[in-house]
Amino acid sequence: YNPLHADPDVARSVGFDRPILHGLATYGLAARAILKSLLDYDASRLVGLDVRFSAPVYPGETVRFEIWEDGGEARFRASVPLREVVVLNNGAARFA
């Protein structure tokens, strides 16, 4: 349990407008985007996923992914269009 993700007062005390989404949830969205877009949901093919968290995601926001495939790898980034902010950057996925 981390109150940063549930308690508005705690979130404000560290500089956020409201509680933020867990980083692991955002990371999971990235994995799902790769699985859906490139791997036909075959998780056994995904062998690595690296990403830089560049801004918080707030619960309920729409996250948009841009993915560039190159052989057995892909590069990607994610943004929240409503706030015009990149939330995941320098993403790299490796797959078989």
DSSP line for 13-75 = HTT-SS----HHHHHHHHHHHHHHHHSTT-GGGEEEEEEEE-S---TT---EEEEEEETTEEE
**Nearest residue to 53 (alpha-carbon basis) of 92, 91, 16, 88:** 88
**Which domain CATH number covers 11?**
3.10.129.10
Q: Which residues of the chain have pLDDT under 50?
A: none
For the entire predicted model, the pTM comes to: 0.92
Amino acid 1: pLDDT = 84
Domain that holds residue 70: 3-95
Look up residue 41 and give its two tokens. Answer: 């949901």
Radius of gyration of the chain (CA): 15
> What's residue 45's pLDDT?
97
Domain count, the chain: 1
